[in-house]
Amino acid sequence: MFDDEVDRMLAVLDSGFPAVQEMSGRAARAAVAARRPPKDGEVAALAATEDYTIDVEGGTIPARVYRPRGTQGRVLPGIVFFHGGGFVLCDIESHDDFCRLLAAGTASVVVSVGYRRAPEHRAPTAAEDALAGLRWTEANARRLGVDPAKLLTAGDSAGGNLAAVCCLLARDRDGPVIAGQLLIYPVIEPDFDNDSHRRFGKGHFNTTAAMRWYWRQYLGGDEHDALPRPEEYVAPSRAPRHAGLPPAVIVTAGRDPLCSEGRRYAETLRSAGIGVRHRHFPELFHGFFTIVALGAAEAARDMVWSDIRALTDNKEVPA
């Protein structure tokens, strides 16, 4: 039904995206920001926003809070969101429209956290900032109109990594208690020897070459070097145990070099007894879920919003 639209969008994205692996982090950010589409006026009307500053070790980071229109005075679930961009690119503004959709679609307050990015800030700075954003949200839950018992993490791509790592950090460091995690085609580990990278590492927008570069920026070295320890706070699949983590909704796209690692992480969580709802979209590509104008993305979002609403209504995540 959406095949032609998807193929056209993928062709446009693949032909126009800059070769970030040939650039510095600063130059890559500027090149990607220059391609940013204008904001959608209809989407902007879905949520009211307030901007905040969060104190973190060594500085401050920005946060933007989204509340669905017509919900003032109500206590809602809270979703702490981390944007994608390979730990290097994008920011709160790049994902502003998407966060409005997320807030309206799930009837939640969304807190978008602008973590510090690589290469200026290497791993695990982004993960520590993510945890700081989560703890700030819990500490300010009453002021924000958030139910602290219904606090979720969410992120796309590298942000999905941070959302998953945040759950490990919160479990291992005595909170906050997290009710669920939404991982949208997440970056899980620097593993490029898998079926998805072999089949879709070129010509499908996100590339293996770009992913290698992102990891080098984040780690400060080659992906074959030892990861900073504890490894699981950089690559969540490396955790010695996954028991005690919150239920997960995981989105993967079939034409994405990250598909294999996302699917494998879903299996890892299931094996640890964690409830997982794995939404797989075989004809779609990395980045599709945040594209406002893509019909296939709208249909996918509706499914996932339903999953999140079920989770925050204290229902079990279906397998």
218 within domain boundaries: yes
Instruction: Identify whether 197 is a catalytic site residue.
Output: no
Residue 116's pLDDT is what? 99
Residue 318, domain member (yes or no): no
Name the catalytic one among 83, 121, 204, 286. Answer: 286
Best CA proximity match to 308, nearest among 295, 318, 296, 298: 318
Is 252 contained in some domain? yes
Amino acid at 10: L
On whether residue 290 sits in a domain, the answer given is yes
From the candidates 96, 129, 156, 256, give the one annotated as an active-site residue.
256
| 147 flagged as catalytic | no
Give average pLDDT by consecutive 10-residue segment, the chain, 319 residues: 82 89 95 88 92 98 98 97 98 98 98 98 98 99 98 99 99 97 98 94 93 96 77 98 98 98 98 98 97 95 97 75
pLDDT at 40: 82
User: Token pair of 121, please?
Assistant: 């800030």
CATH number at residue 20: 3.40.50.1820
Residue 319 domain-assigned? no
CB contact set of 286 (below 8 Å; sequence gap of 6+): 157, 185, 204, 205, 206, 253, 255, 256, 257, 258
pLDDT value, residue 15: 86
The pLDDT > 90 percentage for the chain reads 87
Exactly one of 157, 204, 260, 307 is catalytic; name it. Answer: 157
Give pLDDT, residue 2: 54
Name the domain count of the chain: 1
Range of the domain at 62: 3-312
256 is catalytic: yes
Q: State the pLDDT at residue 318.
A: 57
Residue among 175, 51, 57, 170 at smallest CA distance from 113: 51
Q: Residue 317: inside a domain, yes or no?
A: no
